[in-house]
Amino acid sequence: MSDKAFGFKIVVVGDAAVGKTSLIKRYTTNTFEKDYISTLGMQFSRYEETLSGIMVELFLWDLAGQESFATLRDRFYKGSSGAIVVFSLAPEEIETYRNIIKWLSHVKDACGNIPIILFGNKADLVDQNAISTSPDYETSDVHVQKFAQDHNISEYFRTSALTGQGVKEGFQTLVKKLYHRATF
C-alpha cells in the first residue's frame, strides 16, 4: 500500500501561450525550456510535494495546442481538486486577462466551488513598479486583486516561469489549501 495519504488533481488553464506548460515545468523541475515541443490535446505531470513533512501527490494537468476543446472538457476537468487560472502580464497579451472570466466559468461549471489561484505570468516582461503602483494599467495589482476578490479566487500571484518568481509560492498556496480542505 502507498504511504501517500493525499493525492490531488490540479488543472492549469488559460489562453494558449500564457505559459501554463512552462509554469508546470518550472514548479516540478525548476527549469525553463525555451523550445519545448507542444503536443495536441492534454497532458499531465506527476509531482510529489512535501508540506511540513507530509507527502502530497499532485497531478498537474494542462492543455497543449488546441485550447478550445469543448468535446474534451469534461474529461479534462473531471476529478479536479483545485485550479490555477493563468493570464499573461505582457501588455500585448492583455486579451488573456480579459479571457480569464471564460476560464473561471469553465472551472465552475465542471468542478463547482473548488479553490482557484490566479497567476499573472511573464512578470519578467513588465516594469514591476509600474504595474504594481499605476492604477492606469488594467492589470495593475489593485485591479487584479479586486477582480480576484469579486470572483471568489483565493489568491493572486505575479509569476514568471522564466525567473521562477512566485511560482513555487503560488502552487504551494493552492496545495496547502487543498490539504486543509481534505483534512478539516
The residue ranges that bind ligand G3D (CB under 6 A) are 16-22, 34-35, 121-122, 124-125, 160-162
Residues contacting Mg ion: total by CB under 5 A: 3
Separation between Cα atoms, residue 114 and residue 63, nearest integer Å: 19
Q: Which is nearer to Mg ion, 27 or 147 (CB)?
A: 27
Q: Which is nearer to ligand G3D, 82 or 166 (CB)?
A: 166
- Give me the residue label for grid cell 468542478: 111
Q: Which of residues 124-163 bind Mg ion (CB under 5 A)?
A: none
In whole angstroms, the minimum distance from the beta carbon of 121 to ligand G3D comes to 5
- Give me the residue label for grid cell 479553490: 115
Grid cell listed for 8: 490531488
Residue 21 found at the interface with Mg ion (CB under 5 A): yes
Separation between Cα atoms, residue 174 and residue 130, nearest integer Å: 27
In whole angstroms, the minimum distance from the beta carbon of 124 to Mg ion comes to 18
Q: Of 42, 55, 64, 94, which lies in the binding site for Mg ion, with binding defined by CB under 5 A? A: 64
Q: How far, CA to CA in Å, does 83 sit from each of 45, 52, 78, 86, 112?
A: 14, 22, 12, 10, 11
Identify whether the C-beta of residue 64 lies closer than 8 Å to the C-beta of residue 42: yes
Residues that bind Mg ion (CB under 5 A): 20-21, 64
